[in-house]
Chains A and B, each alone.
Chain A
Amino acid sequence: MEMLFHVVVFPGLLYVLLWTVALFWFFRKFMAALHKRIGPSFNGPGGSFQTLFDLSKLLTKESITPKGVNPYLFSMMPLLAATIAMLPTALIPWTPTITVVESQYSLLGLVVLIGIEPFLLFLTGFGSDNKYSFLGGIRILTQMISMETSFFLAALSPAILFGTLSLQSIVEQSTWLSFWILLPGFGLYFIALLGLLEQPPFNIPDAEQEIVYGFYTEYSGTNYFLLKLAEFAEFMAVFAGAATLFLGGFKGLFFESYFCLFIKMIIVAVFMMAIRASTPRITMKHMLDFSWTYLVPLSLLNIAWIMLAKIFIFGAVS
């Protein structure tokens, strides 16, 4: 019974849906504020029903399957992408007591599930039989290869520092000292996160002005809803990963609860949006340059720093 609650309500399906609706609304409101606008405001208090209506509308619109595509691949991929993107929620320790799947290797599961997502999105673009979708698919694959290297390396740093792959234990062992030691790692994780989530300045795979909408181009109705859901579920996994790995998860200044984790996730989201509102998109070439000449070497240096810190600082304290 408790398991059913976890799967359906928290942190399962309903929670992800609610998160999607709320974060979509928050993004739009926040973006609007930076644009000197108001954003959605007439549906519900502060326009908070707006995104609910938007997503419900997508559910009931016609889903077009274009001529010339493999219908199985075309409609299967969004469903698969949404499912895979929701799985990491089971691994995150949401509160001191709620972790749906407790495992010694949950960090490994988290990064692998996050890492496989771009490949599924590549397949959606590949299966769309559209030149622009295909270009978007190729771009997402290129970005995945160059960004995930540093993402994995950055996510590895708390594991090395605490000597464990269990997220629960990482959160329990985290202290103010470990926060400062992991801060460079957090910076790298954050940059890699922008690349992984296709956020500016790395929103190259769905660059509207260049390749229409990348891999989203041919999707409509329910399929598009599922892709949107996958996108926001991935946001959740990555933000929660950031909060858990580097910012002490559910731990707070005064009490330990889900609320503290949530605040940390929102802080990461706000940083992401501020960059989104002020930074133009870079090109594929610049992204590859940046990733392989700066980000990956820095991630490796960070690993070295963590090891040194573990021996000389962290080890000495504990």
Chain B
Amino acid sequence: MVAGVGVDLENLWIRFGDFVAVRDANVNIKGGDFFSFLGPSGCGKTTILRAVSGFLEPSEGNVLIGGKNMKGVGPNKRPTALIFQNLALFPLMKVWENIAFSMEIKGASAAERRKRADELLEMIALEGQGDKLPSELSGGQRQRVAIARALCAEPHVLLLDEPLSALDLKLRQHMRTELREIQQRVGITFIYITHDQGEALTMSDNIAVMRAGVIDQIGEGKTIYNDPATPFAASFVGENNVFRGKVKRVSGDRVLVQSNRSGELLARISTANLGRLKEGDNAMIFIRPEAFELAKTGTEGDHYVSARVINEEFEGNVFNIFMEGDGGKEIKVSLPNLGQSFDSHKGQTMTLKYDVKNAVAMPAGVLATE
């Protein structure tokens, strides 16, 4: 078993001509961590991964693996293994040959390779499938073969480039658990690239949220979800309702915002933005759909929102209510299904209540586009 080593990015810049793909990234990834880069496509997360694996030289800054600067070290000399988005299994080699490719390179005998491949096949629950060709396997099986192939190289860091994006939903959810299990078993550092916040939240120890080459926030999933640093992080990770307005009064970590549509709203300033909101500033308040609860109609106050119901839907575990919101966007409210009776309120005005600590305020900025 190989221990995972840390990966550090120091003032990393990557440019392609005039285009800046990664702008001054500073990340410290602990050894043995499951670390995710989360962001929409084209935000530069794959570029970071290629810089770590050695396929790309940074324009500026350093990549350190296990404390060692990797400048000038080729991808075949780095203690990393990459799982490609399309898996890149060698189509002409049998499954076991694919898995043991890294041993073949080092000149291991066929018997040794076969033995190791069979061990790994057992680990990924594909015993006896070693003599098939990759094309004869299903998508999920191919996925696992790619993981086994990478693990066979005994890397200290495993890099995964959206490996689940080609799978169907059920399989994707299953593979999440499996990946997490494998990571805990082998104990090496996983760096995971995804645009799916569900994947990032369920699997990762830590997450970096990226937008257009810039890392917006690094932290545990819970922190990012509950205490987002930027409007982008707030709107990209999970569902969120945004209320825009002007700051009326700041006291400590509380801020009163005169919202455009919903009157005065009281909110908590997110940790990263403490001291950065002044009176008269444009601000945004984010409240999650599940942070609302129904209140007596007509109640007013600084933690109440009243709006007309446009649509309702039943999703099984929750009732979703869509209300007229700010800037043409609907306010989404999710009420947990606890077996209560639920009457339709379509067309009526309803009043919602929220806990101030669940309303996060920050300076106005760019939202994630859906």
Chains A and B form a bound pair: no
